[in-house]
Amino acid sequence: MIKIIYIKNILNNYYRIDKYLYYYFLLKKKNISRKKIQDNINNGNVLLNNKVIKKKKHIKINDKIIFIYKKNFFKIKKKKYIYKNKNIILNIKYEDNDIIIINKQPGLTVHPGCGNYKNTLINGLKYYISLKKIKILNYSKYRIGLLHRLDKDTSGLLIVAKNIKSFNILNEQFKKKKIIKKYLALVWGIPKKKKDIIKNYIGRNKKNRIKMTVLKNDIKNGKYSITKYKILKVFNYFSLIECNLKTGRTHQIRVHLKYIGNPIFNDKLYGGNKIKYNYINRLYKKKYTNIIKYLFNVLPRQALHSYLLKFNHPITKKKITFISKLPKSFKKVIEYLKKNNF
C-alpha cells in the first residue's frame, strides 16, 4: 500500500522526516512507534521527492513523501501489559488548558517498564486525567503528553502538554535549547572550578549496561552532552551546586559530576553512596563515618532535585518560571551540614 503526503505546514524548515511522519500518523489516529517508521525508512520504503532517503533527512514545505507499507503495518499487536490508571498522588504545581507542571516526588518511576507497569507517574497521570475528564492527547501508552523525564530517585519539575499544538511547540523549544532546566545537587568534595561547562560524549557503559559513562570523542557510541554548573555553597566535605542542562541525556548530571571527581551524595549507581575518607583526618574517622551513615538514612537516595523550569508558554508566548523547593529530607541534610559545620 502507498500513502502520498505533500508537506503543507511544519514548525520549521528543518524537521526530521521520521519525526514528522510519527506525528502525522498520530494525528490520523494511527498507533505507531517512531522506531517502526525508522525501520520502514531504512528498508527503502519511504521516498522524499521520489528519492530513497535516510531517517535523519530533513524536510521542508512543498516536499512530497511517498510512504510504502504493508497491509497490517498499523495493526497493533496485543501487549502483555496494559498500563492502567492508578490513584497515585501527583503534586500538580500548575495547570491550565495547555500544560500541566508536575512536581515529582522521589522514588516514583516515570515510565512503565522493567517489571513496574502499575506504580508509575504515567499510571497516576492517566488516573488524574480520567478523573478530571481532561481531553488530553494520548500520544502513546507511554507518554501521554510528557515531554521529558526524571530518574526514579530524582525529584522535581516535569512538563506535560495537554494537546498536540502545545506538545509540538514545547518539543521545538526543547530541541532549540530554549527551555531552561536547573537542578540542585549535593556532591562529595569541592569541584576544582567554581563554575564550569562540562562537554563530552555520554553512552552506555560496556561492562554494566544499566550505567552510562563518558566516552571521550566517541561520536559513534556516545551522544554529545553539555552541563553547566556553579558552586552555591561549600561545606567541609560537600558542596551544593546548581546544574543547568543544555542537553538531556540519560543520567547526564550524575555521570558528569562523577567524571569531574565529585559524585552526587548517596548516588548508588555512580559511587556516591560510598563513604569518602580522603577528605578527613584519621583521628575523626569513626565520628565521621557515623555522621555520614546518619545522613544516608536521612536522605536514602541521590541528592539531586530539578528545582527550576523556565520557558515560553506554548500558546500565550508569555515567559513563565516554576520553582520547586527542596524536599524535606534533602533540606534536612543541608541544614545539618550548615548547623554542624560539616
- Structural domains present in the chain: 2-68 (3.10.290.10), 92-176 (3.30.2350.10), 181-198+226-339 (3.30.2350.10)
Give 272's pLDDT tier (boundaries 50, 70, 90): very high
pLDDT 10s digits, 223-234: 999 999 999 999
pLDDT at 142 over 50: no
Beta-carbon neighbour count of residue 194 at 10 Å? Answer: 13
Q: Is the pLDDT reported for residue 77 higher than 70?
A: no
- The string of pLDDT tens digits covering residues 80-138 is 555 678 889 999 999 999 999 999 999 999 988 777 888 999 999 989 888 877 666 55
Residue 144: the pLDDT is: 74
Name the pTM for this structure. Answer: 0.78
**For residue 184, pLDDT beyond 60:** yes
Mean pLDDT, rounded, for 293-306: 97
Say whether pLDDT at 13 is over 60: no
pLDDT at 271 over 90: yes
**Average per-residue pLDDT for the chain:** 89
Residues identified as active-site: 151
Q: For residue 321, is pLDDT > 50?
A: yes
- pLDDT for 143 equals 61
Is it the case that residue 74 has pLDDT exceeding 50?
yes
